């Protein structure tokens, strides 16, 4: 303890240099932990977005693209599935239930999802958790809407509020379906998934707002009022994708093959868990590159500390010699310098952890709103603790190098120096 106390006073006497060293280590540690936390928790968040669904069926294209737009609301479909095909899939004997999904419109930057009430019965997330309502109930009328938790919280919409859908998925749209407003009848409880950032309406509601549109624009002179639309037959023409639940998990590959070989139109059926793993396999190279860059940032911070210690040795040779003259043993001088490295590295680690917490606190709204990621700021995982222990060990070993040089010097080396 006396050695550490003396080391602390020695570091304080060179506090400007020590501050720069601590800051360098802190930046590297925060980058290393930040990349690791984003990597692990992004995987967890993606994996828990959808559970209990055996297949996702969409138009033929890329499997990862189908997963991204149907589950994570990222991107758009290259083509749609006809309603006739969606009904045919629902009628297959091995299929227990289906949930059709229709994407395309938005509400103040949030995606609008057209679906059926089966969505609220069969959609599950996490460990097979069902959707729950914080207020209200599923849509029952043509112009009813159910909001995700984040939509309601961010936009301030409540039960009974009127919302207007916009054409397209952008944050800013100059083409609004203002003549056919929707009424909020339900608000879902938070899930930590893209469901929170989605406005849910019926498939018929999606058809209703586009009944007097053609080619993405309203038809001049052919406008229909909300009352006129309610009297019309609003059978969907197409849907974006279909979530499928099976009678038996053993039949999943048979149904997948039947979907992919469907003759009436080109389809693609994917297993959500398998495709999610393919997505992460695709991103694994980038993950490793980011981790390597972060590790190099930590190494740079430790090199700054090592450089400061070695550079200061020439200035401290008389100091070390005086300590020896006062009775300090070589081992004690060695431990003094190692203690300084320990203190600098420990302070850098603590500062890095604190910096990460502040950065995550500031970035959480962006990560949640834009990327749909829920990142826990605390506590650190066992792997992160192991990383911190490795940084601490590397710092102590780095400090041992200049300490070993001092250990080998003789007492006369310092006393004979000229001032």
The predicted-structure confidence for 243-258, as pLDDT tens digits, reads as follows 999 999 999 999 999 9
pLDDT, mean over the chain: 82
3-class DSSP state of 127 = coil
Q: 82: pLDDT confidence band, cut at 50, 70 and 90?
A: very high
The pLDDT of residue 171 is above 70: no
Length of the chain equals: 419
The predicted-structure confidence for 97-109, as pLDDT tens digits, reads as follows 999 999 988 888 8
Contacts 24+ apart (CB under 8 A), 248-256: 248/94, 249/54, 251/94, 252/54, 252/55, 254/94, 255/54, 255/55, 255/92, 255/94, 255/95, 256/55
3-class DSSP state of 79 = coil
Summarize the confidence of residues 134-159 as an average pLDDT.
Answer: 92
**What confidence score (pLDDT) does residue 18 get?**
82
**What confidence score (pLDDT) does residue 419 get?**
41
Q: How far apart are CA 91 and CA 117, in angstroms?
A: 18
Residues 260-295, buried b or exposed e (16+ Cβ, 10 A)? eebeeeebbbbbbeebbeebeeeeeeebeebbeebb
Q: Where are the domains of the chain?
A: 2-46+284-415, 55-270
**What confidence score (pLDDT) does residue 410 get?**
45
The pLDDT of residue 373 is above 70: no
Structure token digits, residue 166 = 């916009």
The pLDDT of residue 348 is above 50: yes
**What confidence score (pLDDT) does residue 344 get?**
86
The predicted-structure confidence for 55-68, as pLDDT tens digits, reads as follows 999 999 889 999 99
Scan for tokens 């929170």, then name that residue. 196
**What confidence score (pLDDT) does residue 16 get?**
83
**What confidence score (pLDDT) does residue 330 get?**
66
The predicted-structure confidence for 394-412, as pLDDT tens digits, reads as follows 888 877 777 777 666 645 4
Summarize the confidence of residues 137-161 as an average pLDDT.
Answer: 92
The predicted-structure confidence for 180-214, as pLDDT tens digits, reads as follows 889 999 999 998 888 998 999 999 999 888 787 66
The predicted-structure confidence for 3-43, as pLDDT tens digits, reads as follows 677 677 777 777 788 888 888 888 888 888 888 887 777 77
Q: How far apart are CA 223 and CA 46, in angstroms?
A: 42
**What confidence score (pLDDT) does residue 108 get?**
87
Q: Are the C-beta atoms of residues 391 and 29 closer than 8 Å to each other?
A: yes
Cα–Cα distances in Å, from 390 out to 26, 254, 346? Answer: 14, 49, 12
% of residues, the chain, pLDDT over 90: 32
**What confidence score (pLDDT) does residue 218 get?**
60
Q: Which of 136-140, 272-276, 294-298, 361-365 has the lowest mean pLDDT?
A: 361-365
The predicted-structure confidence for 275-332, as pLDDT tens digits, reads as follows 988 888 887 777 788 788 888 888 888 888 777 777 666 666 666 666 666 666 666 7
Among 105, 135, 110, CA closest to 205: 105
Scan for tokens 């040795």, then name that residue. 313
Q: How far apart are CA 255 and CA 245, in angstroms?
A: 10
Q: How far apart are CA 411 and CA 131, in angstroms?
A: 75
Among 337, 332, 314, CA closest to 417: 314
The predicted-structure confidence for 332-344, as pLDDT tens digits, reads as follows 777 777 888 888 8
Q: Which residue has the higher pLDDT, 78 or 215?
A: 78
3-class DSSP state of 163 = strand
The residues near 168 (Cβ < 8 Å, ≥ 6 apart) are: 104, 105, 106, 175, 216
CA atoms within 13 A on the CB side of 254: 10
Summarize the confidence of residues 171-186 as an average pLDDT.
Answer: 77
Q: Which of 87-91, 111-115, 360-364 has the lowest mean pLDDT?
A: 360-364
Scan for tokens 């969907």, then name that residue. 236
**What confidence score (pLDDT) does residue 104 get?**
81
Cis peptide before 353 (omega within 30 of 0): no
> How buried is 135 (Cβ within 10 angstroms: 0-12 exposed, 13-18 middle, 19+ buried)?
middle
Which of 5-14, 40-49, 258-267, 373-382 reaches the highest mean pLDDT? 258-267
Structure token digits, residue 253 = 């590959």
Q: Which residue has the higher pLDDT, 370 or 40?
A: 40
Among 332, 350, 353, CA closest to 406: 332
């Amino acid at each position: 303890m006396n050695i550490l106390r003396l080391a602390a006073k020695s570091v304080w006497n060179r506090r400007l240099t020590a501050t720069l060293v601590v800051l360098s280590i802190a930046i590297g540690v925060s980058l290393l932990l930040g990349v690791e936390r984003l990597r692990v928790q992004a995987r967890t968040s993606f994996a828990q977005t959808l559970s209990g669904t055996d297949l996702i069926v969409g138009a033929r294209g890329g499997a990862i693209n189908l997963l991204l737009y149907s589950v994570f609301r990222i991107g758009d479909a290259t083509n749609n599935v006809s309603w006739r095909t969606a009904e045919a899939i629902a009628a297959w004997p091995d299929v227990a239930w289906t949930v059709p999904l229709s994407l395309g419109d938005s509400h103040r930057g949030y995606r609008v999802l057209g679906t059926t009430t089966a969505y609220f019965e069969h959609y599950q997330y996490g460990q097979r958790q069902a959707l729950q309502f914080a207020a209200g109930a599923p849509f029952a009328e043509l112009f009813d809407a159910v909001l995700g938790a984040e939509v309601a919280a961010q936009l301030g919409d409540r039960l009974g509020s009127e919302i207007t859908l916009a054409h397209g998925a952008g944050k800013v749209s100059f083409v609004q379906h203002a003549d056919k407003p929707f009424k909020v009848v339900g608000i879902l409880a938070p899930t930590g998934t893209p469901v929170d950032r989605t406005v849910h309406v019926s498939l018929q509601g999606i058809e209703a707002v586009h009944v007097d549109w053609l080619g993405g624009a309203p038809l001049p002179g052919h406008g229909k009022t909300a009352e006129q639309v309610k009297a019309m037959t609003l059978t969907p023409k197409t849907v974006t994708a279909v979530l499928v639940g099976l009678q038996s998990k053993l039949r999943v590959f048979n149904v997948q093959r039947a979907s992919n070989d469907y003759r009436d139109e080109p389809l693609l059926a994917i297993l959500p868990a398998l495709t999610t793993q393919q997505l992460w396999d695709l991103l694994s190279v980038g993950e490793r590159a980011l981790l390597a860059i972060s590790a190099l940032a930590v190494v740079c911070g430790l090199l700054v500390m090592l450089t400061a210690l070695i550079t200061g040795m020439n200035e401290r040779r008389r100091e070390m010699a005086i300590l020896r003259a006062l009775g300090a043993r070589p081992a004690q001088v060695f431990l003094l310098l190692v203690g300084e490295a320990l203190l600098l590295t420990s302070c850098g680690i603590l500062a890095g952890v604190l910096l990460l917490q502040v950065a995550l606190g500031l970035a959480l709204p962006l990560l949640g709103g834009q990327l749909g990621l829920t990142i826990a700021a605390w506590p650190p995982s066992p792997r992160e603790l192991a990383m911190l222990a490795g940084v601490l060990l590397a710092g102590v070993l780095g400090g041992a190098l200049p300490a070993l040089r001092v250990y080998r010097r003789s007492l006369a080396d310092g006393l004979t120096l000229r001032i």
